[in-house]
Amino acid sequence: MKLSAAIREFVDYSQALGKLYRSESYQLKAFLRQAGDIELHYLSPGQVEKYLRGKGGPVTTTWLSKFTTLKSLFHYAISRGYMQKSLLPKSVPKMPAKFVPYLYSIEEIRRLVGISDFCYRPMAILSPPTLRALILLLYGTGLRLGETTKLTLREVDLTEGLLTIHQTKFFKSRLVPVGPDLLHVLRLYSDRHWSGNARTPDSSFFCTRKGTPMTADHAHHMFQWLRREAGILRFDGGRYQPRLHDLRHTFAVTRLVTWYREGKDVQRLLPHLSTYLGHIHIGSTAHYLTMTKELLHEASCCFERYALPETHNG
């Protein structure tokens, strides 16, 4: 079997299992371009190593991501008799330190949304109200940035306070309720942005100053400027400076700490958090639950409340 056919069959199989497999598909297409559409039995370890190495330089998580994708492809091909053995290197190089997300404090969120309009460049692609509404929506709901850029007016119910998220990661759709304070922010943004402007139900909710749909690149670029303007930096050796996606991590951890403080049954509520975030299983949600000192303290207090009565009974 040729490499292109094996990749196509493998991607179809993976997506049939409910995986989006978008980035992995791009990786496999890149491997195909480099190796050529040859018969699988003509593939060599050298071709695999060349693809993994890329342009050279230090080993990064990209290397590991490509390695994992090829490992899955080869496992699939071997299980169906298309290949005799894996061509991956026997030893895996030491990976960079585990990525640690940045968790924003409430004070930092206030600084981000409190930057004066006069600090924004007049020709900046996003207006101050747009960027503020976006940050507060991500902080208050934990949505993925890609989900917010796809929101249309039809999908933002400002009467009921309900967002409809259609066919995003893992092909899942869901309803996301928003609280009264955030709903008020979204209404103010909508009134200001859309007042007097032509719109249809399919118009993008978040738009640029020119009225075109906001993209992830627009948001990332503007946020990095705003973050520096607000003086929000990390000095803990983290691989990246604070990002928009870290607001999703912040939402998940904050939600967990709040439940602990309220004495809620966190284990019972975790599946609800997973569904709210658009995950298929709790394991994906665990990726966002960085164990902060605050979270560890609340969890310890919860355990003590559970354990101490039994100690006293003994």
Helical packing angle, 293-313 and 246-261, nearest 10°: 20
Distance, in Å, from the CA atom of 201 to the CA atom of 155, rounded to the nearest integer, reads 8
CA angle 59, 24, 142 (to 5 degrees): 90
Q: Which of 144, 193, 218, 249 is catalytic?
A: 144
Q: How many CB atoms lie within 10 A of CB 157?
A: 15
Q: Which of 66, 132, 227, 248 is catalytic?
A: 248
218, 245, 249, 255: which one is catalytic?
Answer: 245
- Residues whose CB falls within 8 Å of the CB of residue 129, separated by 6 or more in sequence, listed in order: 188, 189, 192, 193
How many angstroms separate the CA atoms of 290 and 293, rounded?
10
For the question of residue 279 being annotated catalytic, the response is yes
Q: Map residue 144 onto helix, strand or coil.
A: coil
User: Quick count: other Cβ atoms within 10 Å of Cβ 66?
Assistant: 20
Known catalytic membership, residue 144: yes
Active site residue 264: no
Active site includes 169?
yes
For the stretch 186-216, what's the b/e string if a residue is b when 16 or more beta carbons lie within 10 angstroms of its beta carbon?
beebbeebeeeeebeeeebbbbbeeeeebbe
- From CA 70, how far away is CA 51, in angstroms rounded? 10
Tokens of 14: 């993976």
Joined tokens for residue 199? 């719109």
Which one of the listed residues 2, 150, 169, 172 is annotated catalytic? 169
Which of 9, 27, 36 is CA-nearest to residue 71? Answer: 27
Residues 6+ apart with CB under 8 A from 260: 266, 295, 298, 299, 301, 302
Tell me how far apart the alpha carbons of residues 45 and 91 are, in angstroms, rounded to a whole number. Answer: 13
Q: Which one from 218, 227, 255, 279 is the annotated catalytic residue?
A: 279
Q: Which active-site residues does the annotation give?
A: 144, 169, 245, 248, 279, 288
